[in-house]
Amino acid sequence: MSACKAADITLVTLWHWRKKYPKFNEEIQAVINSRIQVVEDVLFREVLKGNATLIMFYLQNKAPQDWQDKRAIALQHSGKIEHTFEEKLNKMNDAELIEIAGEMRKELDAILEGKR
């Protein structure tokens, strides 16, 4: 995350601070919410321009009871699901978890930098 780089901290440190300091977490969440609002504003301007795809996206998310995609997928499973995601994470060692966090960080950085 570019903010972590600018502050010379790791993403793990950021998450520890967010858990440890509720007021800090509230401030971080406020920044995240403001970014979401910016994206929503851009989306709405595009909707007003008549972009049909974005119009459907907007309506399906803002009024899902009226505009949800009506396609349904029936799934039947006769067996038992053996593992939950949490169970898989709990079985991983530190090196595996750090590797996953690193990959997630790379993907997030790419998204934030507009490469995805």
Residue 68: DSSP 8-state: -
Confidence band of 62 (pLDDT split at 50, 70, 90) = confident
User: Which residue type occupies 95?
Assistant: A
User: Which residue type occupies 113?
Assistant: E
Say what the alpha-carbon torsion angle 3, 110, 54, 44 is, to the nearest 10 degrees: 20
Is the pLDDT confidence value at 111 over 80?
A: no
- At 83-104, the pLDDT tens digits run 676 777 778 888 888 888 888 8
In this prediction, residue 3 carries a pLDDT of 85
Confidence band of 19 (pLDDT split at 50, 70, 90) = very high
- At 28-39, the pLDDT tens digits run 999 988 988 998
Verdict on whether the full-model pTM lies above 0.75: no
In this prediction, residue 116 carries a pLDDT of 56
Query: What are the boundaries of each domain within the chain?
Result: 2-112
